[in-house]
Amino acid sequence: MKIYKLYESVLTEAEITSCVKKFGHELFGDQFGGSEANTGLENQYVRDIADFTDNMYGEEVTPEFVSAMKNLKACMKQYPEVLIPESSKVYRGITIPLKYFVDRKQVINLTAPNPYVYKASSKIQSWTNEYDIAATFGNHDTLNELAANVDFKELNTPEERRDMLQDMVDDDLRIAFVLEYMTNPNEFIFKSKYFRMLSMAHHEDELIRIDNNPINVLAKFNDHEDVFMSLKGLTLMKYINKAISEL
């Protein structure tokens, strides 16, 4: 009810009529066990959601899917139980260019969250309320590979470490992190349980963000047990941090 109060302004008759015409009185009744059959548009959106979950992440998100989510978002007040998201922490696994931290002279905290400004490349992103699932969307393969070929005895001076750092920036080294953010009804849509029922993705609870404006998030270095990092990779991270601290 607290979330619903954000939307307690009275709906106009035109708004109600528009939403009901598109989606009926029960949103996705076929999927949620309602008494009302889906409209043709609802059936199309169910297919679109399944496609998004299967293979349309990131740059492959189509304008049609963006339009579908925006149409649904415009009807959040009519179907609050389904479309207004629960308030919760959500997570997203990404890689961040080393250049981001070097440009800001920001040492990377390997044990606690780092402040980070996230600008998504896609207008729609999938987030999850399960940290362990988000952590699997990333790896340290490139970092491990670089570390395997580094002779740490050649990184004894600030100049040597600075040259190493510049080489890695030039090579666009990216490091795996898990982002943490809080849902809100301005950016997110769907309660996770309903989106899971539509997408048939039983392995995780997804929440959909319909916005790619920059946001302030927490970025935790991805040290999850399922994401392998070699001992040399960890050592290289410490040398990277030392080099950043010397800038």
pLDDT class of 55 with cuts at 50, 70, 90? low
pLDDT of residue 4 exceeding 50: no
Three-class DSSP labels, 51-108: HHHHHCCHHHCCHHHHHHHHHHHCCCCCCHHHHCCCCCEEEEEEEEEHHHHHHCCCCC
pLDDT digits (tens, 9 = 90+) for 166-216: 999 999 999 999 999 999 999 999 999 999 999 876 666 789 999 999 999
pLDDT digits (tens, 9 = 90+) for 38-51: 999 999 999 998 88
The pLDDT of residue 178 is: 98
pLDDT of residue 59 exceeding 70: no
Pairing mode, strands 215-221 and 114-118: antiparallel
pLDDT class of 8 with cuts at 50, 70, 90? very low
- CA 18, distance to chain mean position in Å, is 31
pLDDT of residue 3 exceeding 60: no
- CA 202, distance to chain mean position in Å, is 18
Q: Return d(Cα 33, Cα 30) in angstroms, integer.
A: 6
pLDDT of residue 9 exceeding 70: no
pLDDT class of 13 with cuts at 50, 70, 90? low
Q: Return d(Cα 200, Cα 221) in angstroms, integer.
A: 30
The pLDDT of residue 205 is: 79
pLDDT digits (tens, 9 = 90+) for 98-148: 999 999 999 999 999 999 999 999 889 999 999 999 999 889 999 999 999
pLDDT class of 63 with cuts at 50, 70, 90? confident
Sheet with 114-118: strands ordered across: 114-118, 215-221, 174-182, 89-97, 124-128, 206-210, 188-189
